[in-house]
Structure formats: structure tokens, C-alpha cells
Amino acid sequence: MTTARVPTSKAAALPVADYAAPVTASGRLSLPAGVRPFQLNWPYIIVIAGYHVVALLAFLPGYFSWSGLILAMLLTHLCGLFGINLCYHRLLTHRGLKCPKWLEHSMVIVAMSCLQETPARWVAIHRRHHQFADEQPDPHSPLASFFWSHIGWILVHQPELSRLGIYERYAKDILRDRFYVALERYGWLVWINLIQMPLFFAAGFAAAWLLGQSPEAATQAGLSILMFGVFVRTVLVWHITWAVNSVTHVWGYRSYDTDEDSRNNIVVGLISNGEGWHNNHHADPRSARHGHRWWEMDNTWLTIRFLERIGLATDVVAPSAHLRAQAAKARLITRGSNGVPAE
């Protein structure tokens, strides 16, 4: 994929007032500027609610199948690991490794099938989170409320996330690649998620038909594979990702004294393939390895190491050798940077 050569510039500085961290009368962090009065994001609300309803219906006797459930578990693991963790987060957002463009773009398609925004927007929001972690401009801090950090921030309009300037400030490097520009311009997030639905149904129907089942039974099998392979899987990946935003800034242990409230949460660390070692990540954002201790299982890191061994990952960033020494001397300052080095 050819790239458009655009000069790189560092993120523009925000006004001083944007760095303030005002709290409400209850002691909570105020919501990001411009959020109140709430303007509900109805397209997102309808889609998220609809996916949850269909995911629940999948467990009714008429639609449930063990093959569908196993498929949902397998795809939750693979799509979350390759699409969200490895590609969106560690590769695109923090540049913790490099991959061949064909592999990078393939993983982006997988990530988009999880219905978690386009690559440029996902990267921009996450980089803003690092720059203002647990301060008012943070798009999803649980210091405002746990519900807000988990899902509430998606259900309302946030003016700071709607301005075109967020791409210029946080995702300019992503949009140098014309592939990502096309994804934004032509609405491929919607198309990818619509196209996968008949594909899952057809796969389930064909498998049952080839096994000699009746058309009615094959149709039921197709619906089960569709509901588990798309809707249940998407909802599970959503909540695992959202738990990193919410749970790992509230509960867990801190290996590093960082200037925000990130935590290492064992449960989230395990179910998210390593994303739950969040305090480690905030302490060293560029590192492609989030599990810093031997028992902090990080399947995403193990996958990256495997890709590196077979020549499909290069320039892999390991944890800073000086991190623990720095942490022992003083508190680690992590805010003010989006975690991406200046080029």
C-alpha cells in the first residue's frame, strides 16, 4: 500500500485550561468539557442495545448450539488479540512494533469486525486518554463514574472527540496511509460489519447442509452461527475492551507509582490477553509487552514474539531497562504525552 507523504508534526498543545482537573461537589472528576447537557448518541445506543438483545437471544433453545458457543469463545480470543490488542493498540496507537502492510491491514479488518470505531478514531481517542489520563479531558475516566468509563462515554456526544482536529492532533500518522483514509471516507466500518453477517450465516447453513441436515435444521444452524459468531463475540470483545477503561483504573495493584490511577488487574489481564496489566502499560506505553512479571500472562506479547521469530514483526519495543530504577527514585510522569515518539 502506498502512503501519502505528509510531514510529521508533534501534537499541538492544548490550552492551559484543558489540563485542569475540576471535581464535582461529590468529589468526582467532572465530565469532559461540553458533554453536559447530554446529547444522546442515538445511532450508537441503538446498535449497542440491538447487539446485546441478539446476543441474549442466542442462548434461547431455538438458537443455542455448542458449536456456536465454542465459535464465539474462539473468535473472542482471536479477534480481540489480533484485532484490538495487537493491531489497534500496540501496533497503531503506540508503535510498539512494525508488521508488513498486508498483515497490518488484514488485522485492521479483523479489528473493524469488532465494531470498535475506525483505526484513526480508535487511535486518536486512546492517545488522548494517555495524554490526560484521569483528568477532565480524559474521554473515559472512572473518576467521573464507573458507568461513564465503561460504556456511558460512548452513548453521548463528546464535542472534543467530534472535532476534525482530533485526527490532526492524534492520528495524523495513521492517515498518511491511503488505506486508512479510504476506510474513513467510504464508511467501511459499517460495510465490514454488514458483510460478515451473511457470511457467518452461509457458513453455518452450508456446514449443516453438507452434514445431511434438513433445510430447516440448516437454517437454524446458520442463525446460531450468525448470532454467536457475530453478536455474542462482538459483545464479549466490547466488554473486555471497556473493562480495561473502567476496571483497571479502579481495582488492582500498582507496580509503578504513576501520576494517574491505572491498576494491574489479574482478572482483566487474563481475559484480555494481557491488556489488563494496565499500570505497567501506563508506566511504559510504547512497550509491546504489558506483562512485566513472569506470572503476568500476556498472550498478545507471546504472539508478537512468535511473529518476530518468523519475520512478520520487526522493531519490537521491549520494556524500558531503566523503568524500575526510575520508578524507585520518583513518581513516574506519564501524562502530557500520547505515548508515541516524535519522528
Sign of the Cα torsion 185, 166, 163, 126 reads positive
Taking 60 as the threshold, does the pLDDT of residue 4 lie above it? no
- Does residue 56 contact residue 49 with C-beta atoms inside 8 Å? no
Taking 90 as the threshold, does the pLDDT of residue 187 lie above it? yes
Q: pLDDT tens, 221-241?
A: 999 999 999 999 999 999 999
Joined together, the cell numbers standing for residue 121 give 478514531
- Does residue 217 contact residue 224 with C-beta atoms inside 8 Å? no
What is the domain partition of the chain in residue ranges? 41-329
What percentage of residues in the chain have a pLDDT greater than 70? 90
Taking 80 as the threshold, does the pLDDT of residue 21 lie above it? no
Q: What is the DSSP letter of 302?
A: H
Q: Which residues are paired to 177 by β-bridges?
A: 3
Q: pLDDT tens, 172-186?
A: 999 999 999 999 999
Comparing 67-71, 99-103, 162-166, 320-324, the range with the smallest average pLDDT is: 162-166
The whole-chain average pLDDT of the chain stands at 90
pTM score: 0.90
Task: Provide the pLDDT confidence category of residue 134 given band limits of 50, 70 and 90.
Answer: very high
**What stretch of H or E contains 268?**
helix 266-271
According to the model, what pLDDT value does residue 15 have?
38
Question: How far apart (Å, rounded) are the C-alpha atoms in residues 36 and 34?
Answer: 6
Taking 80 as the threshold, does the pLDDT of residue 152 lie above it? yes
Question: How far apart (Å, rounded) are the C-alpha atoms in residues 283 and 325?
Answer: 12
What percentage of residues in the chain have a pLDDT greater than 90? 81
- Indicate the residue type of 71: L
Q: pLDDT tens, 285-303?
A: 999 999 999 999 999 999 9
Task: Provide the pLDDT confidence category of residue 250 given band limits of 50, 70 and 90.
Answer: very high
When pLDDT is averaged across residues 33-40 and rounded to a whole number, the result is: 92
Taking 80 as the threshold, does the pLDDT of residue 26 lie above it? no
When pLDDT is averaged across residues 15-20 and rounded to a whole number, the result is: 40
According to the model, what pLDDT value does residue 337 have?
74
Look-up of cell digits 527514585: 329
**CB atoms closer than 10 angstroms to residue 37:** 6
Rounded alpha-carbon distances, angstroms, from residue 65 to 213, 283, 296, 320: 15, 43, 34, 46
Q: Which residues are paired to 3 by β-bridges?
A: 177
For the chain, how many residues are written?
Answer: 343
According to the model, what pLDDT value does residue 160 have?
87
Task: Provide the pLDDT confidence category of residue 340 given band limits of 50, 70 and 90.
Answer: low
According to the model, what pLDDT value does residue 13 have?
35
SS3 282: helix
